[in-house]
Homo-oligomer: A and B are copies of this chain.
Amino acid sequence: MAIRALVWGENIHERTSAVVKKLYPDGMHNTIAAALREDAGIEADTATLQDPEHGLPEARVAQTDVLLWWGHRAHGDVDDAIVERVQNRVWEGMGLIVLHSGHFSKIFKRLMGTPCSLKWREAGERERIWVINRSHPIAQGLGERIEVPATEMYGEPFTVPEPMETVFITWYEGGEVFRSGMTWQRGAGRIFYFSPGHETYPIYHHAEIGQVLRNAVRWAHNPAPAWEGIAEAPNAPADTAPEKIEVRGERLHLDGEAGFR
Question: Which residues of A are at the interface with B, using a C-beta cutoff of 8 A?
Answer: 13, 17, 19-20, 72-76, 87, 91, 93, 101, 104, 110-115, 117-125, 128, 130-137, 140, 145, 147, 150, 153, 155-159, 161-166, 169-177, 179, 184-188, 199-201, 222, 224-225, 227, 230-238, 241-243, 245-253, 259-261
Contact = CB atoms under 8 A, between A and B. Distances in A.
A185 B200 contact: no
Chain A interface, >50% SS class: loop
Contact of A252 (B13, B87, B234, B250): B13
Contact of A135 (B93, B115, B136, B163): B93
Contacts of A184: 161
B153 A248 contact: no
Contact of A113 (B112, B233, B248): B112
Contacts of A185: 161-162, 165
User: Copies per complex?
Assistant: 4
A188 B133 CA distance: 7
A122 B17 CA distance: 46
Contacts of A253: 122
Contacts of A166: 162, 166, 179
Nearest to A154: B233
Contacts of A137: 224
Contact of A157 (B110, B120, B132, B261): B132
A236 B123 CA distance: 10
Given A104-B233, A233-B118, A238 B174 contact: yes
B122 A245 contact: no
Contact of A236 (B75, B155, B200, B222): B155
Contacts of A200: 249-252
| 9 closest A-B pairs by CB | A124-B249, A175-B242, A135-B188, A124-B248, A174-B241, A175-B243, A115-B231, A200-B250, A113-B113
